[in-house]
Chains A and B, each alone.
Chain A
Amino acid sequence: MPTQTKSKPILEVEELSISFAQYTSGLRQSSLKVIADLSVSVCPGEIVAVVGSSGSGKSLLAHAILGILPGNAAISGSIRFAGQKLTAEYQEAIRGREIALIPQSVNYLDPLMQVGKQVRNAAKIARGSSPDRAAARKIQREAFARYNLAPEVERLLPFQLSGGMARRVLVATALVSSARLVIADEPTPGLDDAAVRETLGCFRELADQGRGVLLITHDIETALEIADRIAVFYAGTTVEVAPVQDFSGGGEALRHPYTKALWRSLPKNDFAPIPGFQPHPNALPEGCLFQPRCPMATPECTAGRPEMRAVREGMVRCIHAS
């Protein structure tokens, strides 16, 4: 198991916050912070999974990195790619070239364009605009062969593909790009076991080529099978980043009480839930976000939001973690 990679991160997200302007009764404008102080990094060759419940806003992380947040979003904190701060111009310049997205929905594919052509276009964009059609075709065919897509598939339209095939086309698109960072947003829902396994294998392959892979998912069991590190997302922020090996036994090696509770709630473990629910962004508790549900909470836990700090080989946002 490769522990913390020594190479420099390809992606560093620090204290990222994302708020949305909202109009409440009358003309009063308020802002709703959906992501608060989120920090995560990805090194080349590494798969980092951001795990959180669906609908909790974690996809916004992908959108922020790609610079495709809606206009009413305000963002603070910093995102660095290959050591350089990601500005709007820089994002524009590298999108699709240095950073590839494997989106949640296969609706992302152009419904009216043959899928082979879509992959060839990605290959062309990656290599500047040199219009070498034969070269692009060769790259596309190799990528198809790699992911068990029959040659005749290249002439199909997206709606003619099965879910698993469409997923493989999306992965092939990332493969032919020169992306050093691949972001996969909720890539496996609705796929059966075999298709999930296949998709995961593709991600490993992308990482083994030296790319960084950021996997955003609600499915912790899948994440545990494939990722090197897990970032646990709770109530709009990362409460822990842990090496995957720490998810074992009774969760003793885990740092945050929420992560431990999540681990123990899995069907393959105790299947034992803790009570309560995640707080809404407009009704966050005082102090630690997990404090109303935390079995370890003390009066100090309401004093302020715990900072993210390094504990053993990971990071945690809990004042009592050791």
Chain B
Amino acid sequence: MLLEASEIGFRYSKNQWVLRGVSVAIRSGEVVGLIGPSGCGKTTLGRILAGYERPHEGSVALDGKALPATGYHPVQLVFQHPEKAVNPRWRMRKTLAEGGGPDEQLLAALGIQEEWLSRWPNELSGGELQRFCVARALRPQTRFLIADEMTAMLDGITQAQIWHAVLDYARKQEMGVLVVSHEKSLINRLCTRVVDLTQFC
């Protein structure tokens, strides 16, 4: 499968383009890095790919077809702040059930403990919550994952744990991954190819 963003343009106000003429393509099973200085639209591009924003110019296609406007989105986004990505009034079990039953093997790989399922989000650390957000995003229907600074706030050990689980899953499911990060060493470690947005700034 091929996820393709072509000639994307996006602006928040009339003459202020955040992105213009940006094209990116990711194949299934590929792990691609997305880098560039802050404010150059990395996060916006990730949100467009995952269907959270509509581009003002250009288009996003999956195998040449437009992405579905309703139903499960095959491109899932996990971003830096898990506490903003979960419903504070739901126990973790419910959050996890959003979009399908949990995959036991994946939960184990992510180090999610059975007893955490009955907790509220504010009873878990950032690292623990982020494991849930990753588990929720990795459904069989997920073809691509956008990881926007996904482990930037975590300690090294948790970061390595989560990435090992994600890469393993991506390999087995032939899922493509776009890694948005400002950490060079992480990008070098994970990615086979890097897209640099600096030229579009």
Contacts and interface: CB of A to CB of B under 8 A. Distances in A.
Given A261-B157, A262-B156, A277-B158, A56 B125 contact: yes
B114 interface: no
Contacts of A192: 37-38, 182
Given A192-B37, A276-B111, A221 B185 contact: yes
A267 B153 contact: no
Interface stretch (A47-55, A84-92, A172-180, A309-317): A47-55
Interface in B136-163: 152-161, 163
Quick one: which of A55, A195, A221, A267 has the most chain B CB within 10 A? A267
A221 B153 CA distance: 12
A218 interface: yes
Contacts of A272: 160
Contact of B38 (A195, A273, A278): A195
A266 B185 contact: yes
B37 A194 contact: yes
A53 B160 contact: no
A165 to B, nearest CB: 12
Nearest to A268: B185
Interface in A250-286: 261-263, 265-268, 271-278, 280
Interface of B: 37-39, 111, 113, 125-128, 152-161, 163-164, 182-186, 188-190
B54 to A, nearest CB: 25
Contacts of B152: 189
A265 B153 contact: no
B157 A267 contact: no
A246 B37 CA distance: 31
A267 B37 CA distance: 20
Contact of B164 (A56, A189, A261, A273): A273
Nearest to B42: A192
A53 B125 contact: yes
A277 B128 contact: yes
A34 B160 CA distance: 25
B147 to A, nearest CB: 14
A267 B189 contact: yes
A220 interface: yes
Nearest to B163: A271
Contacts of A266: 156, 160, 185
A45 B24 CA distance: 47
A261 B161 CA distance: 12
A145 interface: no
A193 B125 contact: no
Contacts of A267: 159-160, 183, 185-186, 188-190
A33 to B, nearest CB: 16
6 closest cross-chain pairs (CB), A and B: A53-B155, A273-B160, A267-B189, A268-B185, A265-B156, A192-B38
B183 A221 contact: yes
Q: Size class of A's contact patch?
A: 35 or more
B150 to A, nearest CB: 13
30 contacts: A53-B125, A53-B127, A54-B154, A55-B125, A163-B38, A189-B152, A192-B37, A192-B182, A193-B184, A218-B153, A218-B155, A220-B156, A221-B183, A265-B156, A267-B183, A267-B185, A267-B186, A267-B189, A268-B185, A268-B189, A271-B160, A273-B157, A273-B158, A273-B160, A277-B113, A277-B127, A277-B128, A277-B158, A278-B127, A280-B125
B6 to A, nearest CB: 26
B153 A54 contact: yes
Nearest to B36: A192
A143 to B, nearest CB: 24
A193 B154 contact: no
A23 to B, nearest CB: 15
A71 interface: no
A161 interface: no
B45 to A, nearest CB: 15
A200 to B, nearest CB: 14
A24 interface: no
Given A275-B111, A277-B127, A190 B157 contact: no
Contacts of A164: 38
A57 to B, nearest CB: 10
Interface in A36-73: 52-56
Contact of A191 (B38, B125, B126): B38
Quick one: which of B38, B126, B188 has the most chain A CB within 10 A? B38
A53 B185 contact: no
Contacts of B184: 193
Nearest to A272: B160
Given A267-B189, A273-B164, A52 B157 contact: no
